[in-house]
Amino acid sequence: MPRGVGELSSDNHSAADNQQERLIEIGWITGFVDGEGCFSINFIRQPGRIDRKGYHTGYQVAHEFVVTQGAKSVECLHRLRQFFGVGQVLVNRRHDNHKEHLYRYVVRKRDDLWNEIIPFFERYSLRTSKRNDFLKFAECLQMIRTNDHTTIGGMIKIVEIAETMNRCKPRTEIIRILRDYTPNIRW
Amino acid sequence: MPRGVGELSSDNHSAADNQQERLIEIGWITGFVDGEGCFSINFIRQPGRIDRKGYHTGYQVAHEFVVTQGAKSVECLHRLRQFFGVGQVLVNRRHDNHKEHLYRYVVRKRDDLWNEIIPFFERYSLRTSKRNDFLKFAECLQMIRTNDHTTIGGMIKIVEIAETMNRCKPRTEIIRILRDYTPNIRW
């Protein structure tokens, strides 16, 4: 075989291999996140800072995509970090009788979630009930992007969505406080 | 475009799509099993049946590949069942304060594990530390196929491998019993 043809053939082969590997990687990420991932929306009381943009309601919204693994499998989390190009791998040291430290791949920044994480899982669907959590998470992020969370009405809606996510932690206390709350600002 | 060409093009397109979907499916299975799967080897005392093939040592070896999900995601388990073409989806009903029943995709038959499950995960590697459990599981199955488990020496080796799998449950009691055990048969 002429050298050129061999090279071309080998290049084509390698491009096809890379494409195969990438599709398997994409599938692996969706499966692993179906098993170990978590999309969560939380609320942090910030009553003394209602003059700050985003805290007008007395609450800050915290949004997080997390995948957790023991120390033995931390390499997988670094791989996720490399794939998405955003977020961090953080250690959660355990000094009790657990056998290994826990590691968490965490993405918290709004832009990183909006530009990298959400488009990926919109294109490549999760298959467990975690898909519903993801869709609610994306809906909350969309509302936050349009500053709905700076109004009491918008924040109550986000809290109501969040309380149906994951283990369905009731948020009645936060909703009650928000409904009773009349800070000295326009909303 | 002539009808035939259009059909061919559409067929090619659909074949490429199917291939893409299959690769993503394969990736999804490896990722999901990395998160939620379990390969386990257990030992069941069978002291009264040492005349039966496989129980010569006084123990029966039980081998199992399991993936567990809550009722809301049971569809994923049926999909695994369909993909591998072996095993069963079983319900583990929970009547206490848990919100939903648990379901388990379970493959226990030796031939099914050997012909379907093991070759798949040999070809498409797991990426977490569960890969080590899988390799040990496959090693035990290989030993069982060559009837090593019917000898005390072989069974002790299988127990020693099994005690390093999953949560590293010590098997010192079984090993002690096996070492002390001298049934009235040749081994």
pLDDT tens figures, A144-186: 999 888 888 888 899 989 888 976 566 777 777 777 765 544 4
Nearest to A41 by CA among A179, A143, A150: A143
B27, B34, B72 ranked by CB distance to A25: nearest: B27
Residue A96's pLDDT is what? 65
Residue A177's pLDDT is what? 73
Alpha carbon dihedral B175, B179, B185, B187, in 10-degree steps, equals 80
Give the whole-angstrom CA distance, residue A93 versus residue A48.
Answer: 32
Nearest chain B residue to A35, by CA: B35
Residue A2's pLDDT is what? 40
B70, B79, B129 ranked by CB distance to A73: nearest: B129
Contact B34, B128 (CB under 8 A): yes
Residues of A with CB under 8 A from a CB of B: 20, 23-36, 69-70, 72-73, 75-76, 79, 99, 124, 127-130, 168
Interface test with chain B among A128, A134, A165, by most B beta carbons within 10 Å = A128
The per-residue pLDDT string of chain B (187 residues; one tens digit each, 9 = 90 and over) reads 344 444 445 566 688 889 999 999 999 999 999 999 999 999 888 877 777 777 777 788 999 999 999 999 999 999 999 999 999 999 988 766 667 889 999 999 999 999 999 999 999 999 999 999 999 999 999 999 998 888 888 888 999 899 889 765 667 777 777 777 655 544 4
Contact A68, A98 (CB under 8 A): no
A24, A32, A36 ranked by CB distance to B23: nearest: A24
DSSP assignment of B146-165 equals TTGGGSHHHHHHHHHHHTTS
Residue A105's pLDDT is what? 98
Asked if the model's pLDDT at residue A58 lies above 70, the reply is: yes
Q: Taking CB atoms and an 8 Å limit, are B34 and A33 in contact across chains?
A: no
B24, B31, B72 ranked by CB distance to A35: nearest: B31
DSSP assignment letter at A167: T
| Order of all β-strands in the sheet with A88-92 | A37-45, A59-70, A102-107, A88-92
Give the whole-angstrom CA distance, residue A137 versus residue A143.
Answer: 10
ipTM higher than the 0.85 cut: no
Nearest chain B residue to A32, by CA: B31
Asked if the model's pLDDT at residue A65 lies above 70, the reply is: yes
Q: Give me Rg for the CA atoms of chain B.
A: 21
Distance from CA of A154 to the nearest CA of B (A): 29
Mean pLDDT of all residues in chain A? 85
Q: Taking CB atoms and an 8 Å limit, are A31 and B26 in contact across chains?
A: no
Confidence (pTM): 0.84
A75 or A13, higher pLDDT: A75
Nearest chain A residue to B36, by CA: A35
pLDDT tens figures, A82-117: 999 999 999 988 766 667 889 999 999 999 999 999
Alpha carbon dihedral B54, B58, B63, B67, in 10-degree steps, equals 150
